[in-house]
Amino acid sequence: MSPPETSFPKSQIEIVLLEGTHESGTAALVDSGFSVRTHKGALEDKALITEIKRAHIVGIRSKTQLTDAVFDQCDRLLSVGCFCAGINQVDLESAASRGIAVFNSPFSNTRSVAELTIAEIIALHRKLTARSHALHQGIWDKSAAGSHEVRGKTLGIIGYGHIGSQVSILAESLGMKVQFFDTLSKLSLGNAQSVSSIDELVRTSDVITIHVPDADSTRSMFGKDQIAMMKPGAYLLNNARGSIVDLDAMRDAIESGHLAGAAVDVFPDEPAKSGESFSSPLQGLDNVILTPHVGGSTIEAQETISLDVANKLTRFLNQGTTTGAVNVPEVDLPEQHRQDDQRSHRILNFHRNVPGVLNKIHEAAAELNINISGQYLQTNAQIGYLVLDADPSNAAELHKRINAIEESIRTRILW
Say if residues 226 and 258 touch (Cβ distance below 8 Å): no
Task: Tell the smallest beta-carbon distance from residue 161 to ligand NAI (Å).
Answer: 2
- What's the CA gap between 90 and 328, in Å, rounded? 13
* CB of 112 or CB of 336, closer to ligand NAI: 112
Does 212 bind ligand NAI (CB under 6 A)? Our answer is: yes
What is the nearest approach in angstroms of ligand NAI to the Cβ of residue 144? 31
Q: Does 283 bind ligand NAI (CB under 6 A)?
A: no
**Any catalytic annotation for residue 126?**
no
Q: Does residue 179 belong to the site contacting ligand NAI (CB under 6 A)?
A: no
Shortest approach of ligand NAI to residue 47 CB, angstroms?
Answer: 29
Pick one of 18, 121, 163, 310: the residue that binds ligand NAI (CB under 6 A).
Answer: 163
Q: Supply the minimum distance, in Å, between the C-beta of residue 111 and ligand NAI.
A: 10
Query: Is-catalytic flag, 293?
Result: yes
| Dihedral, 56, 59, 65, 70 alpha carbons, nearest 10 | -10
Q: What backbone torsions phi and psi does residue 372 show, to the nearest 5 degrees? A: -105, 120
Looking at this protein, which amino acid is placed at residue 74?
A: C
Asked if 157 interacts with ligand NAI (CB under 6 A), we say no
Q: CB-wise, 79 or 104, nearer to ligand NAI?
A: 104
- Our finding on whether 103 is near ligand NAI (CB under 6 A) is no
Distance, C-alpha 329 to centroid of its chain: 17
CB 117 within 8 A of CB 155: no
Residue 290 binds to ligand NAI (criterion: CB under 6 A): no
CB of 85 to ligand NAI, least distance (A): 6
DSSP class of 107? S
Binding status of residue 187 toward ligand NAI by CB under 6 A = no
Instruction: Fill in the per-residue mask, 108 to 147: x = in contact with ligand NAI (CB under 6 A), - = not in contact.
Output: -xx--x----------------------------------
DSSP letters spanning 202-236: HHH-SEEEE-----TTTTT-BSHHHHHHSPTTEEE
Respond yes or no: is residue 203 known to be catalytic: no
Q: Smaller CB distance to ligand NAI: residue 79 or 109? A: 109
Counting residues that bind ligand NAI (by CB under 6 A) gives: 31
DSSP sequence for 145-205: TT----TTPEEEEE--SHHHHHHHHHHHHTT-EEEEE-SS--PPPTT-EE-S-HHHHHHH-
Amino acid in the structure at residue 199: D
Nearest to 158 by CA among 202, 224, 96: 202
For ligand NAI, the closer of residues 165 and 287 by Cβ is 165
With CA atoms as reference, report the closest residue to 297 among 23, 83, 27: 83
The binder of ligand NAI chosen from 60, 158, 325, 347 (CB under 6 A): 158
Residue of 73, 183, 220, 323 that binds ligand NAI (CB under 6 A): 183
Residue nearest ligand NAI (C-beta atom): 161
Stretch of residues binding ligand NAI (CB under 6 A), selected from 124-132, 179-187, 317-325, 381-389: 179-187
Alpha-carbon separation of residue 232 from 144, 206, 207 (angstroms): 19, 9, 11
**Which entry of 149, 270, 363, 367 is annotated as an active-site residue?**
270
E strands, 9-128, in order: 14-17, 35-38, 57-60, 79-82, 101-103
222 binds ligand NAI, rule: CB under 6 A: no
Q: Which of 148, 162, 258, 293 is flagged as catalytic?
A: 293
200 is a contact residue toward ligand NAI (CB under 6 A): no
Q: From the CB of residue 414, how many other CB atoms can be counted at a distance below 10 Å? A: 22
Determine how many CB atoms are found less than 10 A away from the CB of residue 235. 28
Q: Which stretch binds ligand NAI (CB under 6 A): 212-220, 267-275, 349-357, 403-411?
A: 212-220
Residues that bind ligand NAI (CB under 6 A): 85, 107, 109-110, 113, 158-164, 181-184, 211-214, 217-218, 221, 239-241, 265-266, 293, 295-296
Catalytic positions, please? Answer: 241, 270, 293
